[in-house]
Amino acid sequence: MATGWRNPKHDLSEESKVVIEQGFALSLALITMLFLTYRSFEVKAYAGTGETEYVEIEEIPETEQMKKPPPPQRPQIPVPTESEDIPDDVTIMDTELDLDAPPPPPPPPPGASRKREESPVFLAWEEPPEAIKRVTPEYPPMAVKAGVEGKVILMIVVDERGDVLEATIVTASPPGIFEDAAIAAMLQWKFNPAKQRDQAIKVRLAYPIEFTLTTGRPPPSE
């Protein structure tokens, strides 16, 4: 391989050093000249427009939060108590139920008794009571359909005015059919009261009522 020939006059490695040194010297000279030319600086304050501006600060009142009133208290109903240690206004009603307790007795049938003033009841008299107003009992529809007849014997109490105060069942045949109708009718009957020594008295006596489909019921009211 042949070695390339170089011209010593155009050796770049030697010339580059000279060029760099010359450029550095030239730059330093230019900076020095600029520094000497503009070495003084004048600073002026800003004069403004000449008008004074005022800023007003308004005080805003503090916002007060409105609180809702509390709800009204529920009324308390005092329940009386047998204990003297517990105030009446803090007691509560006993709601315990005794399921094993027997049920209360049923109310008496309407019109079964019309007691007035207490007076002795006589079982004997000189003049017996006499019916002056008879009310025909209502024949039970079920007995009519079945063609059933019967008889009820009542124990009644007739007072001094001739009103029937009580009517209770002595016997009924057949049972469980005609009893209510007989009592309801008998309590509407009216009598001439029984007498003892010409004085009206309250008496107790048995009185039969028959229910028949052929011969009819007790005679109508007179």
Give the single-character DSSP code of 127.
Answer: B
Residue 156: CB atoms within 10 Å: 21
C-alpha to C-alpha distance for 83 and 220, rounded to whole angstroms:
62
Tell me how far apart the alpha carbons of residues 126 and 197 are, in angstroms, rounded to a whole number.
7
- pLDDT tens profile 26-64: 888 888 887 777 666 566 766 666 677 777 887 877 777
> What dihedral angle (degrees, nearest 10) is formed by the CA atoms of 84, 85, 91, 95?
-80
Quote the pLDDT of residue 134: 92
Look at residue 100 in the predicted model and tell me its pLDDT: 66
How much is the pLDDT for 86? 54
CATH class of 121-211: alpha beta
* Residues 89-135: tens digit of each pLDDT: 444 444 455 666 666 655 555 445 555 557 888 888 889 999 999 99
Within 13 Å, how many C-alpha atoms sit on residue 14's CB side? 6
pLDDT mean across residues, the chain = 76
Cross-strand bridge partners of residue 155: 168, 206
| Total-model pTM | 0.45
d(CA 204, CA 121): 6
What are 64-80's pLDDT values in tens digits?
777 777 877 776 655 55
**What residues pair up with 13 in beta bridges, in sequence order?**
none
pLDDT band at 166; cut points 50, 70, 90: very high
CB 197 within 8 A of CB 174: no
pLDDT at 184: 93
CB 182 within 8 A of CB 136: no
Q: Which amino acid is at 83?
A: S
DSSP-based three-state secondary structure for 131: strand
The structural domains of the chain, with segments of one domain joined by +, span: 121-211
